[in-house]
Every structure is written in C-alpha cells, then in structure tokens.
Amino acid sequence: MSKSVRLTAQTVDVINAIMRRPGHGVSGAEIAKVTELASGSLYPILMRLEKAGWLSSEWEVGDPTTLGRPRRRFYRVTALGQREVNAVRSALAPDLGGGAWVAS
C-alpha cells in the first residue's frame, strides 16, 4: 500500500520530469536541470516519492575513477507511481483541462 504523497507544485514538476523519459532512468542532475530545483528541495522530494513507492532508483554501474565523475543515481516511476499519477490526473482533469501532467 502506498503512503500518501503531498503533491506540491514542485513534486508535480519532479514527477513530470521523470515521466518525460518513460522506460529510462533520469538522474537527479537531469531532474534538477528541468525543474530548476536546488538539491536541498529536489532530493527530499525524490526520497519521499521513493519511500512512498512511487519511484525506484538505482546507482549507475561503474567506478567513479573510470567514469571521471561521481556515479549518478537514476530514478524511474514505478507501476504504483504510475497508477497513483493516473488516479490524481483523472481526479484533477476536469478542473485543470487535462493539462496537469505530461506523460509521453
């Protein structure tokens, strides 16, 4: 069972940024670039969404020395997250003209 998620405008922006790349993981740096959120705002949102089961994440495979940079953590919307997003979108669509979410 999912924990409730407070859907602030920032949280919606984060979910939208991840859903723009279905099937691919999106790094925190990529999400920050799209949403223009500072890490102090972004990473607590990502942790809450992951704890609620809406997101999953995994570390990039590779040695930072070989990569020449720190490893990245990639985030994906889970099946549960997709169901929850769809439920919220359906509930809000009449009020928002269906434009509240980008799922492409």
Ordered by start, the domain boundaries in the chain are 9-92
Q: Are 31 and 10 in contact (CB under 8 A)?
A: no
- Within 8 A by CB and 6+ apart from 41, the residues are 10
Q: Which fold has domain 9-92?
A: Arc Repressor Mutant, subunit A (1.10.10)
Structure tokens at 61: 């495979």
Output the pLDDT for position 91.
Answer: 76
Query: How sure is the predictor about 103, in pLDDT bands with cuts at 50, 70 and 90?
Result: very low
Q: What is the mean pLDDT of residues 43-60?
A: 95
Residue 93: alpha-carbon gap to chain centroid = 20
Q: Residue 24: pLDDT above 90? A: no
Structure tokens at 58: 């995994």
For the stretch 56-79, pLDDT in tens is 999 988 888 998 888 899 999 999
Find which of 19-23, 82-86, 98-102 is predicted with most confidence, using mean pLDDT.
Answer: 82-86
Rounded Cα–Cα distance for residues 15 and 21 (Å)? 11
Q: Are 50 and 16 in contact (CB under 8 A)?
A: no
Rounded Cα–Cα distance for residues 39 and 97 (Å)? 31
